[in-house]
């Protein structure tokens, strides 16, 4: 009964999104994208698309999204937006981070990516343009994945902070007390597997086209690099998302080590009270700000 109700709610939401989409003007980029997609299908095998295509998408987007934060350290004007101003980035830390990233990406994540083709074949996930879902439905499903991943991340991340296991796994990620964008996937290999499982749960439940894999990768990388950026940029469009945690929320987690365990949204920390120190810290900073005025 509950499953039928959930399906009914999702179907109603999908119909509502499709109706709104029908009112929007036609996307001028749709035809070029269609031509590029069909060119890819005609010139590469499904295995090449699912494996090497997914790897290229991940690597290109990861370092593209890291680029603004990397450049900010060279722009004096942007220093006022840095959250922990007393802990600037260093070349030593960034080079160390980059080397670990290469190991994690190619020795841990690439073997997982190699399973993408077999996943799409087993579940008959389509590649063709004709069955590609509309962008609005992709967005709704990515939001669903974000909710699922955030839930998994909160509880498993909190477990990794347990005093008996913290020093063996999660301590690696906390090596840099002031985070920077490239550090988003700087972690112990076991942590990559443990917390990364939350990323795949949504895919198992919601994937209906290979483009969805790449859309969800895009959204997830954009979010995790943003919260690790170390900068609180005004007019950040991600801050328009209801309950979005943002960079200040996660930056405090790296600075304080305790609390703010969620990856994307704030509700789990609020429900379990693990944001109490963050709230107290913000209140303290407000009082300090008023005294200095």
- The pLDDT of residue 286 is 81
Please indicate, yes or no, if residue 283 is contained in any of the structural domains: no
Specify whether the CB–CB gap between 276 and 293 falls below 8 A: no
Instruction: Tell me whether residue 145 is in a domain.
Output: yes
Question: What was the pLDDT predicted at 12?
Answer: 64
pTM of the model: 0.88
Q: Which is nearest to 20 in space by CA: 136, 193, 145, 179? A: 136
Cα(218)–Cα(108) distance, integer angstroms = 19
42 found inside a domain: no
C-alpha to C-alpha distance for 92 and 90, rounded to whole angstroms: 5
Are 68 and 225 in contact by the 8 Å Cβ rule? The answer is: no
- Kindly state whether residue 37 falls inside one of the protein's structural domains: no
- List, in sequence order, every beta strand (DSSP E) within the chain: none
Expressed as residue numbers, the domain containing 67 is 50-233
The two structure tokens encoding residue 168: 């063996």
pLDDT < 50: residue spans in the chain: 2
Residue 137 has, within 13 A of its CA and on its CB side, a CA count of: 18
Examine residue 66 and state whether it is found in any structural domain, yes or no. Answer: yes
Answer whether residue 191 is part of any domain. Answer: yes
Residue 198, domain member (yes or no):
yes
Rounded to whole angstroms, the Cα distance separating 211 from 125 reads 10
Q: Enter the DSSP assignment of 263.
A: S
Check residue 15 and give its pLDDT.
67
User: What's the domain count of the chain?
Assistant: 1
**The pLDDT of residue 291:** 58
Instruction: Tell whether 86 is covered by a domain.
Output: yes
- Report the C-alpha gap between 274 and 228 in whole angstroms: 19
């Amino acid at each position: 009964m509950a499953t039928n109700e959930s399906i009914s709610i999702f179907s109603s939401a999908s119909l509502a999104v499709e109706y709104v989409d029908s009112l929007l003007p036609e996307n001028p980029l749709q035809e070029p994208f269609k031509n590029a997609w069909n060119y890819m299908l005609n010139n590469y095998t499904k295995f090449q698309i699912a494996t090497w295509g997914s790897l290229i998408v991940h690597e290109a987007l990861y370092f593209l999204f890291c680029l603004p934060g990397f450049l900010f350290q060279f722009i004096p004007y942007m220093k006022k937006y840095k959250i922990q101003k007393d802990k600037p980035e260093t070349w030593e830390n960034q080079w160390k981070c980059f080397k670990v990233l290469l190991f994690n990406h190619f020795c841990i994540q690439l073997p997982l990516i190699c399973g993408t083709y077999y996943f799409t074949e087993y579940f008959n996930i389509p590649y063709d343009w004709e069955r590609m879902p509309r962008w609005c439905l992709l967005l709704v499903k990515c939001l669903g994945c974000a909710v699922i991943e955030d839930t998994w991340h909160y509880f498993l991340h909190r477990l990794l902070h347990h005093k008996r296991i913290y020093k063996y796994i999660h301590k690696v990620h906390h090596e840099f007390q002031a985070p920077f964008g490239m550090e988003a996937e700087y972690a112990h290999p076991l942590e990559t597997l443990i917390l990364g499982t939350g990323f795949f749960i949504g895919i198992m439940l919601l994937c209906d086209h290979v483009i969805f894999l790449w859309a969800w990768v895009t959204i997830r990388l954009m979010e995790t690099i943003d919260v690790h950026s170390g900068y609180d940029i005004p007019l950040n469009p991600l801050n328009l998302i209801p309950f979005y945690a943002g960079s200040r929320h996660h930056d405090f987690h790296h600075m304080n080590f305790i609390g703010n365990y969620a990856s994307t949204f704030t509700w789990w920390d609020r429900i379990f009270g693990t944001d109490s120190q963050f709230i107290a810290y913000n209140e303290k900073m407000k009082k300090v700000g008023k005294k200095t005025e």
